[in-house]
A and B are shown apart, each in its own frame.
Chain A
Amino acid sequence: MERLQQTVARMGGVNLLPVAVALAALIAIGAPATWVTLTVAGLAMGMMIFLMASGLSLVFGLMDVLNFGHSAFISFGAFIAASTLALLSGWVAADSLLYNLLALGIAISAAGLFGLVAGWFFEVVIVKPVYQDHLRQILITMGALIVAEQLILAIWGGSPLSVPRPAFLQGSWLIGDTTIEIYRVFAFLLGFVAFLGLRYTLKSTRIGLLIRAGVENREMVESLGFRIDRLFAGVFMVGSALAAIGGAMWAGYETLITPDLGAEMMVLVFIVVIIGGLGSIEGSLLGALLVGLTGNYVGFLAPKLALASNMILMMVILLWRPQGLRPAVRT
């Protein structure tokens, strides 16, 4: 038994969980073709949720601030990307890869740029006055979420908005008898690149060093003469931008978005952050993949249980590890 534990730990420990879930699902589903499709969908969904969740987790780890208004960035990102793509509809539908890419790039950058600016505003105006005071923090960010949701309703109206997808991301590949949607592969790749970028920044750059030191001991970093408040603002902005980009990707994935999108995603994002452990991006990735995979598998096997499955997953993991799978902060 102990030997088995050691072997598992050497091979990656909790990191193997998504693999274990995937294998269990393969046995339960039986049909490999369906399984591959579902797994790709689950991985893509997981990566998009990772984009949204990583910012929330980082901000919490560094600043001890949990932003309940985080989902506002997701919704705004989705709607801004949708509007931008609709404006560039000529480029989106064009048969040229260059124009397609340009339109997509502009849409995602618009969402990201909005995330940066709004994140800065949010941090300075809404969150800064209530550092250290969790109760008021929760209330204030919740209030900000209400205002943001109402603003979306005021600007875009309450009716569903359809999102044009760039031509080169339409359709799917057929390999044998499995179909793989191109958009899902693209979403996975983008999320993976974002993860690698974040990881590189955190582990191998000077700023990353400071951020990790700040997570560990804020006062010490401050007393060594670093402007930790600027670091805070920067992390908050990047986190918000990532959420907005995640929202933009999600808009393209769903192709029809409603103002409820933010609230729906927030539950998933929270579950991911709780499962993964607050403060670590590896934890967020792990949680996001788990949630994405189980969501898709259970959605196929027992559609009625789809949302409850994530909740059950969270409960089980909390019973096993109350701090989440890979926490970075001591709670």
Chain B
Amino acid sequence: MSMVSETATAAAGRNTRSAGWWIVALAIGGILFALAFAPFLFDNVRSQQVAARICIFIVLVASYDLLIGYTGIVSFAHTMFFGLGAYGAAIALRGMGPGWDAVAVGTLAGVGAAALLAILIGLLSLRVKAIFFAMVTLAAASVMLVLASQLSGLTGGEDGITYRAPDLFKPATKLWLDADGKVATLWGVKLNGKLAAYYFVVLSCALLFAVILRVVASPLGTVLEAIRENEMRAEAIGYRVVAYRTGVFCLAAVLAALAGSVWAVWLKYTGPDTALSFAIMIDILLMVVIGGMGTVWGAVLGVTLMSLAQFYLKDLMEVAAHATGDLPLLPELLDPDRWLLWLGILFILLVYFFPKGLVGTLAGKERRA
């Protein structure tokens, strides 16, 4: 654990880099390139949807990594904050009509609620053991989930809320006109509102990700790692551990809520399944662990691999379930709906054998030598 986060920064500062570092750097570079130009590279709607989801989740997972990887806090309430941001934007967009004022008001309300709740939970329970905190956040998150489905007047209950995004993001909006007065195309892609929406997601997420990178590289990031490594010592040097922990918990909550708002604007639908369910929390956990705890860049790799697996593993399992159709129990275990079973096993094995995740393991080899 102790070397996880140092590896990325330490590796960057050295002249000789391991082969693993180059593989990771190339992979991440490729993913970022693909995300930045997704509308031009892939022309079907589904892959754009996947790309947008990856962008949002990179921010979500990286902000979660601030907690679990850098500060050593285990929280199960991250989707709760994500959901608060999403529901804030969604309720405002439904109530005030599609417009930027609604987005701003909703986002502010959602972020404010998230920050307030984070301070409350943090001050109440961050003084005690990590395990205690994990339990409190889990309880809070499940109560929030129940509340969201019960207060159906406000949240639409299980069905969620559908609404319209600001006019700029309508597919009919023309960003650029050519000589004939039609929508201009660039490399065969129409410059319409759909493109604007995608780049709204990409740029917002890039900004949020940059904030996270900055936090990690700043003295604050070092203090957080110090707290993770030796709480008593950090306290003895004079850092107020509870204040720092609560602060970073709050920061992560705000980042998650912002990501949630962007997600709500992109999806034009917000419901328990897309913004609040416990399945999302499990996704985040898996992504952090796959990418590597304590490496912000690991989030990029973890999220991409998980998202691709989510879409393509199911197809693979479908085939396998058909192939083993005559055997007992096996088809049920290989059913596409049971893909979480296999990911869960993978998760356990990863935590046992590669607690540093992909980025930590690959890029960290050099350090031992």
Contacts and interface: CB of A to CB of B under 8 A. Distances in A.
B340 A66 contact: no
A203 interface: no
Contact of B135 (A136, A144, A153, A274): A274
Interface string B283-307: 0010001000000000000000000
A13 interface: no
A311 B347 CA distance: 30
Contacts of A263: 142, 278
B335 interface: yes
Nearest to B281: A142
B348 A147 contact: yes
B332 A274 contact: no
Interface in A147-163: 147, 150-151, 153-155
B311 to A, nearest CB: 19
B309 interface: no
A154 B143 CA distance: 27
Interface in A287-331: 304, 307-308, 310-311, 314-315, 318-319, 322-323, 331
A138 B139 contact: no
A115 B345 CA distance: 21
Interface stretch (B124-132, B188-196, B200-208): B124-132
Interface string B92-128: 0000000000000000000000000000000011011
A135 B1 contact: yes
B317 interface: no
B83 interface: no
A134 B335 CA distance: 33
Contacts of A90: none
Interface in B326-369: 329, 332-333, 335, 337-338, 340-341, 343-345, 347-348, 351-352, 355
Q: Size range of the interface on B?
A: 35 or more
Contacts of A315: 124
Given A134-B130, A138-B134, A154-B329, A126 B348 contact: yes
A150 B338 contact: yes
B117 to A, nearest CB: 12
Contacts of B341: 146-147, 150-151, 154
B72 interface: yes
A146 B124 contact: no
Interface string A110-154: 000000000000000010011000111111101110110011011
A154 B285 contact: no
B136 interface: yes
B259 to A, nearest CB: 22
Contact of A142 (B125, B128, B129, B285): B285
Given A146-B344, A147-B344, A307-B146, A140 B352 contact: yes
A134 B285 contact: no
Given A146-B344, A150-B340, A278-B132, 4 more contacts: A154-B338, A155-B329, A263-B142, A311-B143
20 contacts: A66-B134, A134-B131, A136-B351, A136-B355, A138-B134, A143-B345, A146-B343, A146-B347, A150-B338, A150-B344, A266-B138, A267-B139, A267-B142, A274-B139, A307-B143, A308-B143, A311-B140, A318-B124, A318-B136, A322-B127
Interface of A: 60, 66, 68, 126, 129-130, 134-140, 142-144, 146-147, 150-151, 153-155, 263, 266-267, 270-271, 273-274, 278, 304, 307-308, 310-311, 314-315, 318-319, 322-323, 331
Identify the 4 closest CB pairs spanning chains A and B, nearest first.
A150-B341, A146-B344, A147-B344, A143-B348
